[in-house]
Amino acid sequence: MTTTLTPPAPAVTPSAPARRRFRLIRHSLALAARSLTKTRRTPEQLLDVTLQPVIFVVIFVYLLGGAVAGSQHAYLQFLLPAIMVQTAMFASTAIGVNLNTDIKKGVFDRFRSLPIARSAPLIGAVVGDVIRFVVAMVVLLGFGTALGFRFGNGLLLGLTACLVVLVFSFCLSWTSVLIGMLVREPGAVQGISFLIMFPLTFGTNMMVPTDTLPGWLQAWVKLNPVTDVMAAARGLMLGGPVAGPVTSTLLWSLGLLAVFAPLAVRAYRRRT
């Protein structure tokens, strides 16, 4: 048995597939389509992104609006862009939990045994999850509009704000993917994700103006990239400075993607 470890000229694959280009993109899209089909078949997975924004709006606007902004209506204008960012960020934690659950089932073993890039199943899952952000935004804007929220800056810039938030959340998803790859149990993934998301989302000027905060918290708020994302959303939706916060948001997005996507793929490859 020791003589033949490297037989010459391997046989031609019987069904040699046509060499086709853009394999990573095609494979990722096929897997994203799988995610979408799964979401369509089990719409209850969207419960968090449909109910959560509504609940947060109700709680914050009616609980705090009078005290913080003097009127619920004025506070809704101030708060809704920030809630959009917060909802998208919370929604981005689900992917780590889902992947962590999925990976234990045999279907990921099947993907691993196929001649596709290791990153394709992860990219597919992240892209497929964009639907969750879109649903969350549509619900939030619909509910907000019913309560009296208006894009003060025109529809086009309002939608641009949504797009900016979407890009940021998409890139932020990769942190959740990484946690999902590193941690053993889905419950732990959820816990760790929220531990990270809470200071990021609430440690901002989301609910109150920065200058009302104690000094140390002001320092954190100014450092926190999510503050810029919320400022970008407010600027685009309501008016105000745009160029600075939007640039900062996009740079942060790029940075998150560049750091966490490769780390997540590496962790996936190492996970057995």
Partner 1 sequence: MTYAFQAEGLVKRYGKTIALDGVDLAARPGTVLGVLGPNGAGKTTAVRVLATLLRPDAGRAVVGGYDVVRDADQVRRRIGLTGQYASVDDDLTGTENLLLIGRLMDLRTADARVRAAELLARFDLTEAAGRPARTYSGGMRRRLDLAASLVGRPEVIYLDEPTTGLDPAKRDDVWNMVRALLADGTTVLLTTQYLEEADALADEITVMDHGRVIAHDTPADLKRIVGGQTIAARPADPARLGDTAQILAAVSGHQPESPSRGVLTVPVPDDTAFVEAVRRLAAAGITMTELSLRLPSLDEVFLTLTGHGADDRQEAGV
Binding site for partner 1 (CB under 8 A): 1-11, 13-15, 17-20, 23, 26-27, 30-31, 34, 37-38, 41-42, 105-107, 109-116, 120, 272
12 versus 67: smaller Cβ distance to partner 1: 12
Question: At its nearest, how many Å lie between partner 1 and the CB of residue 106?
Answer: 3
Report whether 222 contacts 210 (CB < 8 A).
yes
Amino acid occupying residue 236: L
Residue (117 or 213) nearer to partner 1, CB = 117
Q: H or E stretch including 179?
A: helix 155-182
For residue 210, the minimal CB distance to partner 1 (Å) is 45
Least separation in angstroms between residue 185's CB and partner 1 is 18
Q: Tokens 């934690």 map to which residue?
A: 93
The least CB distance from residue 111 to partner 1, in Å, is 7
Q: Which of residues 22 and 216 has its CB atom nearest to partner 1 in the complex?
A: 22
- Measured from the CB atom, the residue of 44 and 211 that comes closer to partner 1 is 44
* Eight-state DSSP code of residue 77: H
CA 131 – CA 211 distance, rounded (Å): 36
Picking from 13, 181, 167, the residue whose alpha carbon sits closest to that of residue 92 is 167
Q: How far is the CB of 44 from partner 1 (least distance, A)?
A: 12
CA atoms within 13 A on the CB side of 176: 29
The HSE-up count of residue 218 (CA atoms within 13 Å, CB side) is 7
Rounded Cα distance between 272 and 264, Å, is 14
Tokens of 76: 């809704």
Q: Which is nearer to partner 1, 98 or 175 (CB)?
A: 98
